[in-house]
Structure 1
Amino acid sequence: MGRWKALLVLGIAQFLMVLDSAVMNVSISTLVEDFDTDVTVIQGVITMYALVMAAFMVTGGKVGDLLGRRRAFVVGMVVYGCGSALTAVAPTVGALALGWSVLEGLGAALVMPALAALVAGNYEGRDRATAYAVIGGLAGAGVAVGPLLGGWVTTNLTWRLVFAGEVVLVVVALLLTGWIRDVGRAEPRPHIDGVGIVLSASGLAVAVYGVLQSATWGWLAPRSAPFEVLGFAPTPFVIGAGLALLWAFAAWQRRREGQGRDPLVRMALLVVPPLRAGLTTQLAQTLILLGFFFAIPLYLQVVQGLDAFETGIRLLPVSVTMLLASLSGPLLSRWASPRTVVRLGLGTLVAGGALLLGTIDPVLDDGAFAVAMAVIGTGNGLIVSQLGNVLQSSVDDQARSEVGGLQYTAQQLGAAIGTAFIGAVAIGALASAFLGNVEASALSAATEDRVTVQIEAGVGYVPVEAVEQAATDAALPPDEVDELVEDYADAQLGGLRAGVLAGVAVALVALGSTPHLPSRRPRPEAEEAPAGAGATSP
């Protein structure tokens, strides 16, 4: 047990980082009601949490090099605990965003790169592969416990208790940090690249904000946009501005390296084939998982009318199978290469998405839905069982903290884009389908015009009872009320199917990055990469 004590503390931290998002996703309807807001606002808060982590994760890795990894871990846990405490008592959605999205996000940006480096620094060889598999399994456990715990607490008590409980776990982890062997500061001590921080954070923020707002603004034809650009919606221009800032960031990093100064990210790392492939796959896997975990609760709660606890119960198969598949990493490595296992995981995700598409109907088929969830969880678990060890084994000891920052940047960027992109696809498809249904219906011309104006102004996921009430309040004839409700209900399902289909497409595209993943089974002895930023050959 002695050699695994450090993993216990690091595992608590990993569990906490994942628990939050799972709790929030099953509590969307309750949060909308508690803060008197709408789904888009809560979607923005969820996206901001992942975005703050993505924007500052590489910076967090550099801070770990500067302070020492264990000290960065401690500071990050303190900041995270303060954010959890504020979230637990948040009186407004603004306070919720500050506590959860900003403070917890910044705390996690310090904790997670340090965590990745500390695992590598405390374990070697097969123990290291096992440790990363356990960390991946605990991420699965957070996904497993989050919907169930969050759903039960939200339904029977209040979601705020989850965050109060997180404060307790943070205190426990802080008291046990002496069990972790520090891997020290990087030598020579790096200098923080302020310009790089601004360019990377603003580029990521602007690009993801554009994706998030696409559901409201429209992709090309403007809908409810605050302004237009040459008659087009601002969405592609905002996303383009974010990408331009990221291009400027990359150019700035190369310039600093050319001048012999410390960059925020050594661009040479990104050309290491196994590392680049692993980061791409990490981003895709998290995008799919978090995108699905945004869309599926909408189906269960808004369409099917289930409460948060009932939603958590139905998400349990994906969570349990993800946990079990994650923990299978050391066993799988005895007969298959990381490339084979990751490809199997992506293929399983595609199959699970196809099964899920067949279950999104007006009447929920619990059996078929559970099978789809189990298959999706298995696919995700197979992927995460391999990636942690692949990424950290691609570089030497000096680059581990930096790679930890890149690893979790990819993960959180995937989470931010997943919630924003799949949410935007679902809401955009809802609006398009609803408009098409209205135009093809037998509604009077006057009613059709009124509804069309409302759709173009923006439409979201609400219970059909709310649409029925709004139509009744507008003094529409009963037959037109019924027609409108039927059109909206059909559009809801179409939008959700489009969101799931987008996730399946991402999994298929991600298969293109797998040829550069390691094609050999890992050796049981310690596998150290060559000095510098070199990688083990694929």
Structure 2
Amino acid sequence: MEQTQKVQFAHKTFWAIAITLFMIAYNVSVMPTIMSPLVRDLNSSVGAIQSILVVYFLVAASFAPSTENLCRFYGRTRIFSISLVLYGIGMTLTSLSPTIEILALCFSLLTGLASTPLISTPLAIADLIYGDDEERVTIALILASTLGGLFGSLLGGYLASNLGWRWAFVPSLLVLMFVFRLRRSLPNLIVNCTQPIDWIGGLLSFLGLSSIFVGMSLAGEFGWWEPKRAFSIAGLIIPPFAISIVPTLFAVGMILLGFFVFWQRRQANLGKACLFRVGLLRNREFVLGLLTAMLHTLIVTGVQFNLFQFVPLALSLNPFRTALTIIPYNLTMVIVIISVLKYLVLGNRITPKYIVCIGISLLAAGIGVLYSSLHLSVTSLELMPGLIIMGVGSGLFSSYISTLTYSNASKGDKPQASGIYDPIQNLGCSLGRGILGTALVYYTARSIVDDILENLGKTLSPVERLEVIVKLQEMLQTFSREEVREVFANKLPPSIYPLLRLISLDAATSGIKISLLIALFLTGICFLLAVTLPKYPSCRRS
């Protein structure tokens, strides 16, 4: 009887943590899907929505060390419950937002902060209570997150197309209420910590990481060194000299992290509370697995984000049909992970490291097939083979990379490992949208400028041409589509404006193909990192 109750408790706990990851993945996947109606309704721009997503992941990544700090003192279960409430408030306000500024505040800040413990807690619980079934439970949690992304794209796109973008968040709110009811099944993970919370360390790490991560996200818009345009707050230009805001933010972030390292060493020497120990960061295999997983996240997030920008323009589809076009990747990934979860045969017959390398190779092959399928009159069916191959590769990769990475952490370091692994993956999401998204916009803008000049029979000096490209890139990132059309209608000669649709399509096709080449290059680096991973998890090595 007692054994039966334990099994039922374990089942309820699993559903609580799995549905939590499903909910978070759903909301993140909804945003690119509903981008077009969101831009129209709030009179915003694609660049603004991209920035909201980037900042969301940066906030989640920056808050991770402080989250572990709070969990050690107050208990992970209590922080999880508080985060559920905060997350629900954030999503409710997001769905009701009257302006893009309020949406950015609610989604990026409130849900970004709340999502950090909601992601780390399920993995910590799985490691604590499932023992020998940990590998299978971990893969099941990856599956739950993948399914959340699948439903976010599909269901969110359907609701946005038929009822409006605000309705796309309703399913996640319903799921949240279900999770809130199941939270009682979570183990009471309260740690009796006699030391006070390291508030100073938490503040230094949060501000330092935020400064660096925000700098990365602003590089495409403001320039890595030479300023593309001035950064100002309340009319005050920052910095007050001729460099971009990006190196300034990097410098501030590095200084703050330097103070953070000094503070951590001081606390450790005095035997006082520390935010985290750096031992895991000296573990070569853990760091390699961490970087390999981050690069994979960067690639697939960036490619999918760009497809959600390209497909509506190229195929003239609404959000739901756009999601249906891109869904073969997510669906294939789900099928592969389910197969691995059900049988686990690959891990018994093929070295896990080789499975990861095969996954990366298939991801590269899928990107190559996707690249070759792109042309001005591309169809959904022509995109499908590349997306399916990418899905198979990502499914194989995702099933084993976390096992190889986490196996090098001791039992006591697992929560801390999660506190490092999760924000680095969030950083990968931000960099994917920042690097590949910026590449798509820049090369699209460049192609539009060159095509218009060619049709006009005019030439510009290299400096003038670059200035025009940068201004158009800024327009595409900060203007709404109606504002962009109005500018083109007023600035272009009547003979050119009717050709604008074809010029834009050709430019977007060129832009996304270049972004795919960048993704392919990054996939090569990811493969080289994967080759250095151990063949088996540390517990299975002979």
Q: Aligned ranges for residues 37-436 of structure 1 at < 5 Å? A: 37-125=44-132, 127-185=133-191, 188-189=193-194, 191-226=196-231, 231-327=242-338, 328-329=340-341, 330-436=344-450
Distance in 1 (alpha carbons) for counterparts of 2:288 and 2:266: 25
Opposite residue 398 of structure 1, the aligned amino acid is G
Cα distance change of structure 1 residues 231 and 184 upon mapping to structure 2, 3 Å threshold: closer
> 2:453 touches 2:459 (CA, 8 Å); kept in 1?
no
Query: Which of 514, 528, 531 is the equivalent residue of 1:498?
Result: 514
Q: Which segment drifts farther, 305-314 or 214-223?
A: 214-223
Is 1:519 the counterpart of 2:535? The answer is: yes
What is the TM-score when the length of structure 1 is the normalising length? 0.88
Opposite residue 203 of structure 2, the aligned amino acid is V
Residues 164-195 of structure 1: CA distance to partner in whole angstroms, max 9, x if unpaired? 3322222211212232333442x545543323
RMSD: 3.0
Distance in 2 (alpha carbons) for counterparts of 1:166 and 1:477: 47
Distance in 1 (alpha carbons) for counterparts of 2:16 and 2:529: 33
Distance in 2 (alpha carbons) for counterparts of 1:11 and 1:285: 22
Cα distance change of structure 1 residues 289 and 359 upon mapping to structure 2, 3 Å threshold: same
CA apart distance, 1:50: 1.1
Residues 31-75 of structure 1: CA distance to partner in whole angstroms, max 9, x if unpaired? 111111111111111111111111112221222222222222222
Opposite residue 383 of structure 1, the aligned amino acid is F
Cα distance change of structure 1 residues 17 and 465 upon mapping to structure 2, 3 Å threshold: closer
CA apart distance, 1:369: 0.6
Residues 205-233 of structure 1: CA distance to partner in whole angstroms, max 9, x if unpaired? 22232332233223455433436887554
Cα distance change of structure 1 residues 6 and 406 upon mapping to structure 2, 3 Å threshold: same
Distance in 2 (alpha carbons) for counterparts of 1:276 and 1:456: 37
Uncovered stretches (5+) of structure 1, i.e. residues with no partner: 528-535
Q: Which segment drifts farther, 377-386 or 484-493?
A: 484-493
CA apart distance, 1:202: 2.4
CA apart distance, 1:419: 1.4
> 1:468 touches 1:481 (CA, 8 Å); kept in 2?
no
CA apart distance, 1:273: 2.6
Number of residue pairs matched? Answer: 523
CA apart distance, 1:156: 0.4
CA apart distance, 1:129: 0.6
Match of residue 234 from structure 2: none
Distance in 2 (alpha carbons) for counterparts of 1:439 and 1:239: 37
Distance in 1 (alpha carbons) for counterparts of 2:532 and 2:91: 39
Cα distance change of structure 1 residues 364 and 451 upon mapping to structure 2, 3 Å threshold: same
Q: Which segment drifts farther, 308-317 or 329-338?
A: 329-338
Query: Which of 476, 483, 490 is the equivalent residue of 1:473?
Result: 490
Opposite residue 176 of structure 2, the aligned amino acid is V
Residues 404-430 of structure 1: CA distance to partner in whole angstroms, max 9, x if unpaired? 211211111111221122112222222
Cα distance change of structure 1 residues 200 and 503 upon mapping to structure 2, 3 Å threshold: farther
Distance in 2 (alpha carbons) for counterparts of 1:430 and 1:225: 23
> 1:32 touches 1:38 (CA, 8 Å); kept in 2?
yes
Cα distance change of structure 1 residues 423 and 129 upon mapping to structure 2, 3 Å threshold: same
Opposite residue 377 of structure 2, the aligned amino acid is V
Cα distance change of structure 1 residues 156 and 364 upon mapping to structure 2, 3 Å threshold: same
> 1:137 touches 1:324 (CA, 8 Å); kept in 2?
no
Uncovered stretches (5+) of structure 2, i.e. residues with no partner: 1-6, 232-236
Residues 88-146 of structure 1: CA distance to partner in whole angstroms, max 9, x if unpaired? 21222122122221111111112222221111111012x11110000011111112111
What is the TM-score when the length of structure 2 is the normalising length? 0.88
> 1:220 touches 1:233 (CA, 8 Å); kept in 2?
yes
| Structure number having the greater helix percentage | 2
Distance in 2 (alpha carbons) for counterparts of 1:32 and 1:451: 29
Q: How much identity, in percent, do the aligned residues show?
A: 24
Distance in 2 (alpha carbons) for counterparts of 1:239 and 1:433: 31
CA apart distance, 1:537: 6.8
> 2:312 touches 2:319 (CA, 8 Å); kept in 1?
yes
Distance in 2 (alpha carbons) for counterparts of 1:248 and 1:336: 46
